[in-house]
Amino acid sequence: MRYRKLARTGVEVSTQCLGAMMFGKMGNTDHDECARIINAALDAGINFIDTADVYSQGESEQIVGKAISARREDVVLATKCFSPMGSERNHRGGSRRWIIKAAEDSLRRLGTDYIDLYQVHRHDWDVDLEETLGALTDLVRQGKVRYLGSSSFPADWIVEAQWAARRRGSERFVCEQPQYSIFARSIEESVLPATLRHDMGVIPWSPLAGGWLTGKYRRGADVPSGSRYASDGAIARLRGGGDLDDDPSTPARYDAVEGLVTIAEQAGVSLTHLALAFVDSHPAVTSTIIGPRTMKQLEDALAGADVTLDTTALDAIDKVVPPGTDIAGIEHYSGSPSLRAVSRRRIA
């Protein structure tokens, strides 16, 4: 395992970060097995764990907190707030009211006195960014949070957050957590350059594109039972049902996987390792989030921690998915008020 500085903080984090989204009812419901996975990752040299309050509605945080309780001081622990935690209308978002409560709830579930990296899970179109930063700054000054981060912010919000922090004398975001993979490369055009200009760390999520870049989904093959894209899987549930082949973006994904499998074979690595190494190789990236559901998946990801790609492999990948573009079906930012009818010369 290798380590890098998290921006200008001086904190060293492993180049793989253990993502905990699949721990709990969203993935692995066996708490003891999840704890074994977490401790196996720590034993292998990972010192960075990322979770969120919304992951299985707090269950993931509880699993992580219990698993690392004896090793807390050795772990750089990250969690997030913003997403709805129940049906109450104010139990979500970027308001001061919710951020303070969400942080206290996360601290309790994690069983810790402080969070190393507290991140806003999404940008809140309807809340003054200075209010969000002010609430987060208070948490830092109270000693409950060490550093602040954003997740899935568009480039203009990343820049605005830096300027807002300067205007108000607030703590600034030191890290951004974007979606990034061979399938999702549009952040190369503006998001990653913005993080480099402002000396922010970057910890990408979904480097395997929801399992597509493991090769488990192939044209003409059955969709693995229990996977996210199975008829009863997490993605199907979000979409209200339907098979993988019903998605109009699926043919383009099949084509890309076929091309990438050939590149991986020529490079002498697995498709999984090719995908992880691709993300890790970008100069802006600090640590790549891996999100195993099983011990086997963890072991596979760990085996690729030191894989690097040469220019030949990177050039070949660029021909399958060109730089700065996304493959069909990738979604980054949604809900912009500028696209609402009233903002497009329509009557409300």
- Residue 241: the pLDDT is 59
- Residue 245: the pLDDT is 79
- Residue 223: the pLDDT is 83
Q: Is 261 exposed, middle or buried (0-12, 13-18, 19+ CB in 10 A)?
A: middle
What does the chain come to in residues? 348
Q: Where are the domains of the chain?
A: 3-343
Q: Which of 55, 118, 180, 217 is catalytic?
A: 55
pLDDT digits (tens, 9 = 90+) for 283-318: 999 999 999 999 999 999 999 999 999 999 999 999
Task: Say if residues 139 and 147 touch (Cβ distance below 8 Å).
Answer: no
H or E, element range at 28: none
- Which residues have CB under 8 Å from 288's CB, separation 6+? 15, 16, 17, 203, 204, 207, 276, 279, 280
Mean pLDDT of the chain, nearest integer: 94
- Residue 24: the pLDDT is 98
Radius of gyration of the chain (CA): 20
- Residue 236: the pLDDT is 62
- Residue 234: the pLDDT is 63
- Residue 347: the pLDDT is 65
DSSP-assigned letter for residue 217: S
- Which residues have CB under 8 Å from 118's CB, separation 6+? 78, 79, 80, 81, 103, 106, 136, 139, 145, 147, 148, 149
pLDDT digits (tens, 9 = 90+) for 79-133: 999 999 999 999 999 999 999 999 999 999 999 999 999 999 999 999 999 999 9
Sheet arrangement for strand 16-19: 201-202, 173-177, 145-151, 115-120, 76-81, 48-50, 16-19, 288-290
Residue 55 annotated among the catalytic residues of the structure = yes
E strand map for 152-309? 173-177, 201-202, 288-290
* Pairing of β 16-19 and β 12-14: unpaired
- The CATH number of 3-343 is which of 2.40.50.250, 3.40.50.720, 3.30.70.20, 3.20.20.100? 3.20.20.100
Between the CA atoms of 191, 194, 200 and 206, what dihedral angle is there, to the nearest 10 degrees? Answer: 10
Q: Provide the whole-model pTM.
A: 0.94
For residue 202, the SS3 value is strand
- Residue 225: the pLDDT is 78
Which portions of the chain are predicted below pLDDT 70?
A: 231-242, 334, 346-348
H or E, element range at 194: helix 191-197
- Residue 240: the pLDDT is 60
User: What distance in Å separates the CA atoms of residue 113 and residue 302, rounded to the nearest whole number?
Assistant: 30
